[in-house]
Amino acid sequence: MKVDKYWWKKLFGEVYLTTDARTINNPLLTKREVDFLENFLQLKEEDKILDFCGGQGRHSLELARRGYKDLTVLDYSKFLINRGKEEAKKKKLNIKFVRADARSPKLKKESFSVVFMIGNCLGYFLDKRENLKILKSAYRLLKNKGKFLVDIPNQDYLKKRFKPISIHQADKKTLVIRKRVLKDNTIRVREIVISKTRLIRDTLYCQLLYDLKELKNILRKIDFQKITSYTFLTSSEKDLGLMSSRIFVRALK
């Protein structure tokens, strides 16, 4: 399965909101994740928070509803950024949305007290040097003693329960078929999305899997300190692929 290295520039559009609705359009899961985020990072309302690779900003929207006032969402997808802006405007929530490549965001260094990446955003690049740029960007954007959080797929969990094919009904009209190949700590996926009358999408994407020990070593080399982790089970019943079980990693600058 040969995957275009720029697949991430095209995948996260309107169809994505349907194919992944079980997670990214799931209010209960979002609230559960934000509950964890608040507790694990000991957030304060005055924190200046960056939702890094945040898509439509579902976590920031929830944080804003809880009273957090200084929130920025950064993502590459123009569609998701615009969707988040519309939602924030509709709900009268004060959130800044920025479209940028996380490897080289044009934001002022040391300007955030908290940076978080939730939703398996790390590992889109098979070249680890490109993923490293994202982690270095997060470090650069954090203030001294700032808090960083990133989640990764639980590699051991995925390997034990690996399913080469998954099929689920995304909504009444849409069927999602995913054919997976796991090799050399990389999952490659062919995603076929169909309705009753037509093919909606047939695309390839991938995710590089990180071992927890490996990620901790990478963070230490960047100069992050006091690194801790927590295993988060999204669902043991449904096959949510990379989102089924995740490891949240916290570090300080």
Show contacts of 227-231: CB within 8 Å, 24+ apart. 227/251, 230/36, 230/40, 231/154
**pLDDT at res. 241:** 87
**pLDDT at res. 179:** 97
**pLDDT at res. 174:** 95
Mean pLDDT of the chain: 96
The whole-angstrom separation of Cα 238 and Cα 242 is 12
The whole-angstrom separation of Cα 27 and Cα 58 is 9
pLDDT tens digits, 92-128: 999 999 999 999 999 999 999 999 999 999 999 999 9
Q: With 80 as the cut, is the pLDDT of residue 80 above it? A: yes
In this prediction, residues 146-168 reach a mean pLDDT of 95
Q: Which of 204, 177, 176, 186 is nearest to 7 (CA)?
A: 204
- The single residue listed with the structure tokens 């939702």 is 51
pTM of the model: 0.95
> Does domain 8-153+210-252 correspond to CATH entry 3.40.50.150?
yes
**Positive or negative: CA dihedral 137, 99, 122, 145:** positive
**Positive or negative: CA dihedral 143, 118, 3, 158:** positive
**pLDDT at res. 240:** 87
**pLDDT at res. 237:** 75
**pLDDT at res. 147:** 98
pLDDT tens digits, 39-60: 999 999 999 999 999 999 999 9
Domain residue ranges of the chain, discontinuous segments joined by +: 8-153+210-252
In this prediction, residues 64-83 reach a mean pLDDT of 98
- The single residue listed with the structure tokens 């924030």 is 88
DSSP codes of every residue in 82-110: HHHHHHHHHHT--EEEEE--TTS--S-TT
One-letter amino acid at 168 equals: H
